[in-house]
Amino acid sequence: MIEVHKYVGFFVVALFTVGWVWGLVAWIAKREPGERFWVWVTVVQIVAGVQALIGIGLFIFGYRAESILHYAYGIFPIIALATAHVFARRPDFRERPWIPFAWVAFICFGLTLRAVMTGLGT
């Protein structure tokens, strides 16, 4: 289960990388990212949630990360994604609700990368 958590962690980092790069390209091109961006949002939320559940399972079964920061880096992306939903509904993002998700993808990229690094002991 630890190996699964490790590899899903790498996948989560890659997914968040795709999201912020996609958002950056859309912003530079002054275009909407398209309908597939919302598929990405759905996929990244599901995969991040599954990763969190695997981590909780590991914790319940007695496995512990070397650093308490690992837990913070793992929990904050879930909170950030929920916050993106709140911001996307605000009137100032009504025409471009994808922007909060692109920003959150950038932030979560860093958080999940650090989660992987602390989980690996680096």
44 close to 15: Cβ distance less than 8 angstroms: yes
**Burial profile 45-76: b = 16 or more Cβ within 10 angstroms, e = fewer:** bebbeebeebbeebeeeeeebeeeebbebbeb
Q: Which helix (H) or strand (E) holds 34?
A: none
d(CA 93, CA 98): 8
Categorize the per-residue pLDDT at 2 as very low, low, confident or very high, splitting at 50, 70 and 90.
Answer: confident
pTM exceeds 0.75 for this model: yes
User: First and final CA of the chain: distance in angstroms?
Assistant: 20
The domain ranges of the chain are 2-119
The string of pLDDT tens digits covering residues 8-28 is: 999 999 999 999 999 999 999
CB-neighbour burial class of residue 90 (10 A; exposed 0-12, middle 13-18, buried 19+):
exposed
The string of pLDDT tens digits covering residues 66-80 is: 889 999 998 999 999
Which spans in the chain are helix H? 2-29, 35-60, 69-88, 98-119
Q: Is 96 helix (H, G, I), strand (E, B) or coil?
A: coil
